Amino acid sequence: MCGIVAYYGPDRAYDFLIKGLQRLEYRGYDSAGIALLNGDLRVYKNKGKVSELVDLTKGKNLEGNRGIGHTRWATHGEPNTINAHPHLSQDGDLALIHNGIIENYATLKKALQERGHIFKSDTDTEVLIHLIEEIQKAEQVNLFEAVRLALNEVVGAYAIVILSERDPNTLIAARKGSPLVVGISDRDGEYFIASDATPIVEYTRKVTYLNDGEIVSINEGNMTLKTIENVEKSPFIQNLEISLDALEKGGFEHFMLKEIFEQPKSIFDSMRGRFDKENLTFAMRSLQEFESKIKNLDRIIIVACGTSWHAGLVGEYLIEEFSRLPVEVEYASEFRYRNPIVNEDDLVIAISQSGETADTLAAMELAKERGATIYGICNVVGSSIPRMTHAGAYTHAGPEIGVASTKAFTAQVTVLTLLALGIADIRGKITTERLREVFAELDNIPQKVETLLEACADEVIKIAECYKDARNFLYLGRGYNFPVALEGALKLKEISYIHAEGYPAAEMKHGPIALIDEEMPVVVIATKRNYYEKVLSNIQEVKARKGKIIAIVTEGDEKVKEIADHTIEIPDTEDCLTPILATIPLQLLSYHIAVMRGCNVDQPRNLAKSVTVE
Ligand code: G6P
């Protein structure tokens, strides 16, 4: 939520800032702004997207080789130009960009107002820069020290960068709870700062990820790292492995479509080298290292949000089926506030694409405090969640830029499948015969996804044409396909703004059936190996009330075809692997409906991809 970038070096900062903000726009796109320093400090900011900021800056003085930039997802104050970042100190000397929330801003603001500070915006960020200014003047300290002292008074989360007109050779950045990466160029005295590594990779592969409570100071071209307690630290420099192609649309109209079509590869990459289908062995370090812990587990708790929570539900079914361990799946936001029972023999699995979701991080922290072992399934390398875990596995889906999650979901389910099989194997709950069968089919999945993407394309577009103007949609599924129904409905509402609900097919009669009439499209996942006859009855119940059925069926199905209005065939597979295949046409259906309705599929309104506020 909110993306920040900063440049310090010999070149014009503007070019890096704009390109960087465009890469980070998935984090929020309510407003955008930059501050450039070239003798004087100039701020350009605007409501709307980065492209509108580019229009605003046309013909303006864009010189300066220090600069900061921000793209906003509003928390405090409506998304208008005044509330856009950067924010200035009272005397205009300091400019600040901020991602996060200053929780005690109201108290700080009141005290500052009593001492004569006048605020222009409604933001918590403006309060912070006034506080820094006040401390700098009162204590007669340098900018680093003023920032450090101010941060000691702040409660909340932040990733910040500050520029000063009076001190043009200094740039200060700090983090707590919101991510921040510093790129170190091969050219002396050149640094790039951003919320994630995607703006940086084009310029340097050498980066350091800040830890919570760390402040970076770039002064006269040299970088120093300290904690907010003033303890010096040496930065841990690592190499980025992101490919630049992964950050471009590569000929597709939208990132979302590109990411849907990348799934044969992202699923393959998420399983590659992690199991041996001939020898029936696993090569997942996290499983080997935690073998004794896994043997003694009492229970598994999965915490996640959004689409990752849906993957968690599939995980529950997988783990309970294969290893007969009880699993609870929790919304991270609920878990953290309800004093849950967590024990030392629990394994808590946190699932997250971004690795930065504030609620998931807080849930992990709570579980860790109570002695549980924390396992992370995460996509973004080096992000906060994997750094907080005891063990874990990356999903290797590559950068996901479309705000609605697609390839991350199928990659998460792939990793969860391997984890479920691995736990079952360690606990002696799966026969070699069964392991052989599932491994063999898992190995076929990327190819099946490839075939499916091609085979269903035309039918999905036809169906989208028929229902693009619907006001409501219902999605039904049973067993492994229930989370798929939830995910299908979420995808549709996120990007097309059509109200959609996912339901267990059998629960329909306890409520949603009242909504069914000739206007209501009902998407039913009715695959052969998954309660087929039962789902068939649910389809009949919808038809009897004149609802329109869009059925996801197994290749060669005849029975559902006879009664459904539309069918989309998916290749036959193991019941437990159906979610990976059944999700694909639902992603495409949402995508095409949203495009036909003229919606911005990559940046749907009000949403952000990386939710760093609770
Ligand atoms: C946001 C995104 C969703 C995502 C959810 C959880 O709501 O728009 O696509 O599923 O956050 O994010 P995470 O990065 O933890 O998977």
Residue 610 CA to ligand 1 center (angstroms) comes to: 6
Ligand 1 pocket test: pick from 196, 260, 305, 388 the residue with the most ligand atoms within 8 Å of its Cβ: 305
Which residue's CA is minimally distant from atom 1 of ligand 1?
Answer: 609
pLDDT of 245 reads 82
Q: Tokens 């267990």 sit at which residue? A: 504
State whether the beta carbon of 310 lies less than 6 angstroms from ligand 1. Answer: no
Ramachandran bin of 475, using left for φ above 0, alpha for ψ from -120 to 50, beta for the remaining angles: beta
**How far is the C-alpha of 502 from the C-alpha of 473, rounded, in Å?**
9
* Residue 158 CB contacts under 8 Å (≥ 6 apart), including other chains: 98, 99, 100, 101, 102, 128, 151, 174, 175, 176, 177, 178
Residue 425 three-state SS: helix
pLDDT of 79 reads 83
**How far is the C-alpha of 173 from the C-alpha of 254, rounded, in Å?**
33
pLDDT of 398 reads 93
* Residue 323 CB contacts under 8 Å (≥ 6 apart), including other chains: 420, 423, 424, 427, 429, 430
**How far is the C-alpha of 409 from the C-alpha of 406, rounded, in Å?**
5
pLDDT of 42 reads 97
Residue 576 is a catalytic residue: no
Neighbours of 559 (CB within 10 A): 14
**How far is the C-alpha of 86 from the C-alpha of 556, rounded, in Å?**
58
pLDDT in tens, 556-567: 999 999 999 999
Average pLDDT of the chain is 95
- pLDDT at 1 exceeding the cut of 80: no
Residue among 149, 203, 150, 213 nearest 180 (CA): 213
pLDDT of 324 reads 93
Residue 304 CA to ligand 1 center (angstroms) comes to: 9
Question: What tokens were used for 503?
Answer: 């339901």
Question: What tokens were used for 376?
Answer: 């992370």
Residue 611 CA to ligand 1 center (angstroms) comes to: 7
Band the pLDDT of 492: cuts 50, 70, 90.
very high
pLDDT of 303 reads 98
State whether the beta carbon of 405 lies less than 6 angstroms from ligand 1. Answer: yes
Residue 353 CA to ligand 1 center (angstroms) comes to: 7
Residue 2 is a catalytic residue: yes
Give the C-alpha distances (Å, rounded to integers) separating 29 from 355, 440, 497: 20, 44, 17
**How far is the C-alpha of 298 from the C-alpha of 347, rounded, in Å?**
8
* pTM for this entry: 0.88
Average pLDDT value for residue range 483-487: 98
Band the pLDDT of 243: cuts 50, 70, 90.
confident
State whether the beta carbon of 57 lies less than 6 angstroms from ligand 1. Answer: no
pLDDT in tens, 117-153: 999 999 999 999 999 999 999 999 999 999 999 999 9
Ligand 1 pocket test: pick from 25, 196, 256, 308 the residue with the most ligand atoms within 8 Å of its Cβ: 308
pLDDT in tens, 144-185: 999 999 999 999 999 999 999 999 999 999 999 889 999 999
Residue 327 CA to ligand 1 center (angstroms) comes to: 21
State whether the beta carbon of 331 lies less than 6 angstroms from ligand 1. Answer: no
- pLDDT at 478 exceeding the cut of 90: yes
pLDDT of 274 reads 96
Residue 532 CA to ligand 1 center (angstroms) comes to: 31
* Residue 74 CB contacts under 8 Å (≥ 6 apart), including other chains: 28, 30, 31, 83
* Residue 477 CB contacts under 8 Å (≥ 6 apart), including other chains: 483, 484, 485, 502, 504, 505, 524, 525, 530, 535, 582
pLDDT over 90 percentage in the chain: 87
Band the pLDDT of 67: cuts 50, 70, 90.
very high
* Residue 61 CB contacts under 8 Å (≥ 6 apart), including other chains: 36, 38, 42
Q: Residue type at 123?
A: T
State whether the beta carbon of 607 lies less than 6 angstroms from ligand 1. Answer: yes
Pairing between β-strand 521-526 and β-strand 472-477 as defined by DSSP bridges: parallel
Residue among 350, 279, 280, 344 nearest 309 (CA): 350
**For residue 137, how far is the Cα from the chain centroid?**
40
Contact 261, 454 (CB under 8 A): no
State whether the beta carbon of 603 lies less than 6 angstroms from ligand 1. Answer: no
Q: How far apart are the first and last CA of the chain?
A: 11
Contact 552, 568 (CB under 8 A): yes
State whether the beta carbon of 357 lies less than 6 angstroms from ligand 1. Answer: yes
pLDDT in tens, 576-600: 999 999 999 999 999 999 999 999 9
Contact 515, 472 (CB under 8 A): yes
Ligand 1 pocket test: pick from 307, 333, 385, 612 the residue with the most ligand atoms within 8 Å of its Cβ: 307
pLDDT in tens, 216-233: 999 998 999 999 999 999
